[in-house]
Amino acid sequence: MMPIADSHNGRLETERTGRLMRRFLIIVGLLLSLTSFGTIGIHLLTERPWLESAYLAVITLTTVGSEDVPHEDPETMVFVMLYLISGISVFTYSAFQIGGIVVNAEFRSLLEKRRMERHIRTLNDHYVVCGMGRMGTAICEHLHARERDFVVIDADAARLEEIARPRGWLYIHGDATDDNVLIDARIAQASALATVLPTDADNVYVVLSARMQAVKLQIIARANSDDAMKKLERAGASRVVSPFSTGAIKMARFMLTPGMEDFLEITDTHGSPLELADVQITADNPLVGKSLDQTDLRQRGVIVIGIRRENGERLLPPPPTAVITSGDSLFVFGSSAAVNEIIEV
């Protein structure tokens, strides 16, 4: 769970940005009201057209110009004098305040945050990463290198500013165990979620919250113990990864099959011409209904090494006559460009 201090700091930040935005809107409203007042007054007293009245009100208010009123019209003269006296002071103060707000770092940060929120609200089939420790950062770098859309959630604002912001990553400052934060990350529209928070309890809570909001979501969770692995699986995690056991298995593989592991390491490196991938087949995919020997995958530099049916059936290796159906997962190997082209279909 988020520490009390972090939650308090988050509320203070929200309150500060809220006050800043209210202050900006009040000043803009004051200027618009003053301009409207001058426009209406000039129009009623001089019977000039609305556009001309607005023009005179603006140039009078900004002191960049003016136009003499008839001397035989004392009411108009009094109105213009009062409008100038009150308008100049209000306009000068407002212009100074707006200038201060625009160059204010908090205001710039607020505008950037609003743009990021709008961007996040347009995402679909993206990835959500909960936690930006070493594992979370590595996951984000992997997704960024493969040009995938993702959102990272973390309670440490300083870490997000230090790592995510300079790299242009979309992020949400908040507690990933909070349902509203997951909703803000569009968890229901996401393709997969990875939770790598520091404690197993937090990861279990995230898995429970995410699974309740998205039944079919692919959820990958980190566990620090065997007991936590079982709890995460019961909570709804699709896959549970233990850094210790995974690292040990990889070391053993390096000992037993160093050549194969070196080959897999090459295919997993950014910039490598080869890539292993899991391609999800949707109903509108042009491959649906075709057998493997009827597709042009081999000509495009892609080999299908396995098929997992929607009912769990696995074809390893698949025969050339195997028909691709909606809901299948194709395990493919080939050139990065060709694999990415198939994934993006």
Cα–Cα distances (Å) from 345 to 194, 284, 338, 339, in that order, read 24, 9, 11, 10
- 49-88: pLDDT as tens digits: 888 888 877 777 766 655 655 555 677 777 777 777 777 7
State residue 259's pLDDT score: 65
DSSP 192-207: EEEE--SSHHHHHHHH
State residue 105's pLDDT score: 54
Residue 163 CB contacts under 8 Å (≥ 6 apart), including other chains = 132, 137, 169
State residue 2's pLDDT score: 42
Rounded CA separation 196/221 (Å):
6
Query: Which of these, 308, 302, 294, 311, lies nearest to 335 by C-alpha position?
Result: 302
State residue 9's pLDDT score: 47
Cα–Cα distances (Å) from 146 to 128, 139, 269, in that order, read 15, 11, 10
Tokens for 10?
């988050």
CB contact at 8 A, 258 and 284: no
Phi, psi of 95 (to 5 degrees): -60, -40
Packing angle of the helix pair 243-256, 258-267 (nearest 10 deg): 120
Which residues of the chain fall below pLDDT 50?
1-10
- Alpha helix locations (H) across the chain? 4-46, 50-62, 74-102, 105-120, 134-145, 157-159, 179-184, 200-213, 226-235, 243-256, 258-267, 336-343
State residue 271's pLDDT score: 55
Rounded CA separation 289/62 (Å):
70
Q: Which helix (H) or strand (E) holds 1?
A: none
